[in-house]
Amino acid sequence: MSDNVPKSGGPVAPELMADLAAASRILAAQGVVDGFGHVSMRHPKAPERYLMARSLAPALVTPADIIEYDLDSNACNANGRSSFLERFIHGEIYKARPDVMAVVHSHSPSVIPFGLVGVPMRAMFHNAAFLAFGVPTFDIREKFGATDLLVSNGPKGVALAQVMGKKDVALMRAHGSVACGPTLQTAVFRAVYTEVNARIQHWTIALAGSGTDATRIAAVDEDEAPLADVINRTAGMRAWDLWRTQVRAQVGW
Ligand SMILES: [Zn+2]
């Protein structure tokens, strides 16, 4: 272990740790993550720290697996536990975006094609209104040449956060995507509905005929999106309540 272990931002309420662990299981149950992928939240009292599970399949995460990190993604309390290689995605987004309180990284399969072919992802329905503000694509090759495609250090995380800018979702070419939010619940909601929206857009393009210009789909527009997104962040939490209840019924926390 490094001899300059960062100081903890202080204790976190057990129910928040349980919600973060539950978020991993929810994302697995919703088909957003599988053996890979992760969700983090910013420390509720220390904005220079964030919380994320140790390197573990998301469906297996428990509150005891959660590690605290500084924004350079150094662990405060690893105690021999191993960290996700791609934790820098989270640390660098928290550094660049003070408004972001939670981050999901996944390789959810329906989303990946949009990072490969240059067809813009658009908001196909109200639950995915947050996509109407634009979905940039991070191509790791542009700055780093041929790599294993993983965001496995600080500079790669910085480059991803730069491409993401002020958006809430970014695609990662030949890899996956990132979804962010002002709360853990919103970030999970966005990750789930980015995957659902991708499926609907594939169906829409199939229905309209291949070669359809994605910019001509009658998608949620930029005037409608802020209105719909307010509803998603309030009434849309019904989805979180459902998913959270299902996890609690399975594991008792
Ligand atoms: Zn990844």
What is the tens place of the pLDDT at every residue in 116-134? 998 999 999 999 999 999 9
For residue 118, what pLDDT is reported? 87
Task: Write the CB contacts of 200 (distance below 8 Å, at least 6 apart in sequence).
Answer: 124, 125, 128
Q: Which is catalytic among the residues 15, 48, 68, 86?
A: 86
Distance CA 251, CA 169 (A): 30
Confidence of residue 3 (pLDDT cuts 50, 70, 90): low
Distance CA 76, CA 119 (A): 41
Distance 150 CA to ligand 1 centre (A): 6
For residue 212, what are the β-bridge partners?
A: none
Distance 32 CA to ligand 1 centre (A): 12
Which residue reads 């997104």 in tokens? 229
**pLDDT more than 70, % of the chain:** 99
Does residue 210 have a pLDDT over 80?
A: no
The pTM is what? 0.96
Instruction: Tell me the residue ranges of DSSP E strands in the chain.
Output: 38-42, 49-53, 66-70, 102-106, 137-138, 169-172, 176-181
pLDDT, tens digit (0-9, with 9 covering 90-100), for 136-154: 999 999 999 999 999 999 9
Distance 108 CA to ligand 1 centre (A): 10
Rounded to an integer, the average pLDDT of 62-73 is: 98
Distance 154 CA to ligand 1 centre (A): 14
Task: Provide φ and ψ at 82, rounded to 5°.
Answer: -90, 150
Half-sphere CA count of 228, side-chain side, radius 13 A:
19
Distance CA 169, CA 89 (A): 13
Mean pLDDT over all residues of the chain? 95
Residues with CB under 5 A from ligand 1 (ion): 86, 176
Bridging pattern class, strands 169-172 and 176-181: antiparallel
Distance 139 CA to ligand 1 centre (A): 13
Does residue 233 have a pLDDT over 90?
A: no
Which residue reads 């659902």 in tokens? 196
Number of helices followed by number of strands (H, E) in the chain: 8, 7
86 catalytic, yes or no?
yes
For residue 1, what pLDDT is reported? 46
For residue 184, what pLDDT is reported? 97
Does residue 176 have a pLDDT over 60?
A: yes
